[in-house]
Amino acid sequence: MKGLSLRISAPGDEPELKSLWNRVFGDDMAYIDGFFRAVYEPGCAVIAEKDGMIASAVYVFGIGELADGAGNAVPASVSYAFATRPEMRSRGYGTETAAAALRKSFEAGFCAATICPAEDSLFGYYSGRIGYDEWFYENRFRCEVTEKCESADVEELSAAEYARVREGLLRDRAHIRFSDRMLGYQHRLCRNSGGGMYAFRTDGASGCFAAECAPDGELLIKELLLREGDAAAAAVAVAACLGKRRALVRTPSDGGQRCAMLRMNGNTRPERGAKDPWYGFMFD
User: Are 176 and 279 in contact, with CB atoms under 8 Å apart?
Assistant: yes
Section 130-154 average pLDDT:
91
pLDDT-based confidence at residue 220 (cuts at 50, 70, 90): very high
Residue type, 36: F
What are the sequence ranges of the domains in the chain? 4-115, 138-251
Give SS3 for 15: helix
Where residue 281 falls among pLDDT bands split at 50, 70, 90?
Answer: very high
**Does this chain's domain 4-115 share its CATH topology with 138-251?**
yes
CATH assignment, 138-251: 3.40.630
Cβ–Cβ under 8 Å, residues 114 and 63 = yes
Q: Can you tell me the mean pLDDT for 44-57? A: 93
Position 284 scores a pLDDT of: 61
Q: What is the mean pLDDT of the chain?
A: 93
Are 121 and 153 within 8 A, CB to CB? no
The predicted-structure confidence for 81-101, as pLDDT tens digits, reads as follows 999 998 888 888 889 999 999
Q: Domain 4-115: which CATH class?
A: alpha beta
**What secondary structure letter does DSSP report for 278?**
B
- Find the mean pLDDT for residues 124-131: 94
User: Does position 193 have pLDDT exceeding 90, yes or no?
Assistant: yes
Question: What pLDDT does residue 38 have?
Answer: 95
pLDDT of 1 over the 70 cut:
no
User: Given pLDDT bands bounded at 50, 70 and 90, which one contains residue 274?
Assistant: confident
pLDDT of residue 167 exceeding 80 = yes
Q: What are phi and psi of 20, to 5 degrees?
A: -65, -45
- What pLDDT band is residue 118 in, cutting at 50, 70 and 90? confident
Q: How confident is the model at residue 266 (pLDDT cuts 50, 70, 90)?
A: confident
